[in-house]
Homo-oligomer: A and B are copies of this chain.
């Protein structure tokens, strides 16, 4: 087992913390944002561009890769690392989230989930054991226990029931592991119910994992509920293990998550809005596709050091997006991921200098 987590520093005035995860594919300095490479590619980006913007870890989606091109094929290619030519750490999710959000006609049983592919209606079954088998074939450095992520809103009984099964599935996921190069994280569920979150943390830490994710947030609940759930849940989690807030979020969400003690984040947001013609800037999000920018020959983000902002203009990118030229989406995607990774770097620096809260205040002053 080459996995390790060192907690290096905690901010004096908040729960923000700086750490380092060690894997056999390299180190990850936390807090970290992980670009999402759903189908063995971070949409529109090449592996070398991901390295260029200092991505230290990317995420792959088990559900998608299982369906196409299939985990057996990826295994033959030398795992995801070999298949997509990415030699740094990878994390795969358990497939659970997409099974529950994308697939048709799913039936949840104690043994696992029966579902039909959203692509062609073919029938499939994923259990904790099957999820681990698939993730083993994909070969990511960090893999996730198979869980159910209940939609929002869900009532207490449903969430409690689901949570108890997810705990049993976590035990089975752990038992199914037999690859020393992979590290299994458990997932805390419980919706927005405080006692269920408590129960989840207690049971999952009793099973024991090298890292813990917080699932079931950013799935439709109010922002206030998400932050309150974090406020309540994170302090219950072990200090000496990485904490991963799944599927989150906006630049503000990252800052708020870090302030509450979260170490890892992933989200499709920066790549998705890039494809729809929007970019993040130090002054907030803008829709660069809009006519406003037709003759704006300035950089996409006036305060950004990325390759795109140093070399291309809003007017050019708008033209490319309007003409559906691939380079348009390439440039917005590149910048947005750079923006997120650079934001996390600045957050890390501020924690190192013990002034995270003033960094946060200055960021918001400009960003809003």
Contacts and interface: CB of A to CB of B under 8 A. Distances in A.
A184 B87 CA distance: 50
Q: Which of A41, A47, A315, A320 has the most CB of B within 10 A?
A: A41
B77 A315 contact: yes
Contacts of A311: 47, 85
Contact of A77 (B41, B297, B320, B322): B297
Interface stretch (A13-21, A124-132, A324-332, A341-349): A324-332
Contacts of A73: 294-295, 315, 319
B85 A312 contact: yes
A44 interface: yes
Nearest to A47: B311
Interface in A291-327: 294-295, 297, 311-313, 315-316, 319-320, 322-323, 325-327
Please list the 6 inter-chain residue pairs (A to B) with the smallest Cβ-Cβ separation, ordered nearest first: A44-B326, A69-B319, A41-B327, A85-B311, A39-B323, A41-B325
A86 to B, nearest CB: 10
Contacts of A320: 39-41
Contacts of A359: none
A308 to B, nearest CB: 9
Contacts of A323: 39, 68
26 contacts: A39-B319, A39-B323, A40-B319, A40-B320, A41-B320, A43-B326, A43-B327, A44-B326, A46-B327, A47-B311, A68-B319, A68-B322, A68-B323, A69-B294, A69-B319, A73-B294, A73-B295, A76-B295, A76-B297, A77-B297, A77-B315, A83-B319, A85-B311, A85-B312, A85-B316, A326-B330
A46 B330 contact: yes
A42 to B, nearest CB: 8
A45 interface: yes
Interface of A: 39-41, 43-47, 68-69, 73, 76-77, 83-85, 294-295, 297, 311-313, 315-316, 319-320, 322-323, 325-327, 329-331
Nearest to A316: B83
Q: Which of A46, A84, A327 has the most CB of B within 10 A?
A: A327
Contacts of A294: 69, 73
A84 B77 CA distance: 37
Contact of A43 (B43, B77, B325): B325
B329 A326 contact: yes
A65 to B, nearest CB: 9
A44 B326 CA distance: 5
Given A39-B320, A85-B316, 10 more contacts: A39-B319, A40-B316, A40-B320, A68-B319, A68-B323, A69-B294, A76-B297, A83-B315, A83-B319, A326-B326
B297 A327 contact: no
Q: Which of A83, A85, A326 has the most CB of B within 10 A?
A: A326
A329 B324 CA distance: 14
A327 B77 contact: no
Nearest to A325: B41
A315 B85 CA distance: 12
Nearest to A42: B327
A315 to B, nearest CB: 6
